[in-house]
Structure 1
Amino acid sequence: MFDYMAGLGTWNWFILGVVLIILEVLVPGTFMLWLGISALAVGVIALAVTMTWQVQVLLFAILSIASVFLWRKLQGSNDHVSTPTLNRRGDAFIGRTFTLEKPIVDGLGSVRAGDGVWMVRGPDTPAGSRVKVVSSDGGALTVAPEA
């Protein structure tokens, strides 16, 4: 097996690079991509410059570490971007006005908001009235009549 791999020479790097990039597609995370690109770079360099396999492995390690760190540094500014209401969908409706789909009777009613129907809490109000969302509590929105 090792003799076969040694017989491929620099093509091992191209094969490794393609395999790592395919792995990146199957298991995303932008980590294998940089290892794959590093392997392809070593393959290209090995075609142009004669090197021992030890030097090639060392070059692969250096390029891999450098590319991962460089990518992390360049992406560092984007890591802090967040969506504050991602897991609190109701919070995204605070301050918005909706029309009651079902009247608020005994403190409960419903509105169509976003892609669904939301239960609302508030003072008794007839269907078709405009209400403003003042807060969110789990799956229910607290509303007040629009002024």
Structure 2
Amino acid sequence: MLVACALSAPVMAEVYQYVDANGKTVFSDQPPPGAKAKPLNVRAYAPASAPAKAVKGSPLSDIDKKNAEISAENAKVKEQNKKVAQENCKRARDNLTSLQQNGRIRMPGSTALATDSQRTALLQQAQQDVQSWCNQ
């Protein structure tokens, strides 16, 4: 019984604390040469032989449930984002096709016809929109 207690007791480990040349606090198992290091007493416990299992009603199982809910919600959001991206891609392609097929077009929000330079700018923007939404 005494041997079992001795084996399960924490092990003392030597750890040194010092400030490096950059002014950062460093912890190490060996003192640095030529620097002031403060020895610290640290107890290291042996790792558990098996990970803890969730018990029904325990905080761990509640966390697992919450994580599962969050994962399911994230999957729904990802699917919705995919649908929106597909719709935006279709709209961008339709807009580009419309601009390419019509010789003269009206400026958005106006009754005035677009000049050649404005039409070129609208075509370039429509091509960028197709690339942005369809090449994801």
After TM superposition, the score normalised by the length of structure 1 is 0.27
Which structure: greater strand fraction?
Answer: 1
TM-score (normalised: structure 2): 0.28
In our comparison, the structure showing a higher alpha carbon Rg is 2
* Larger RCO (CA within 8 A; separation ≥ 6): 2
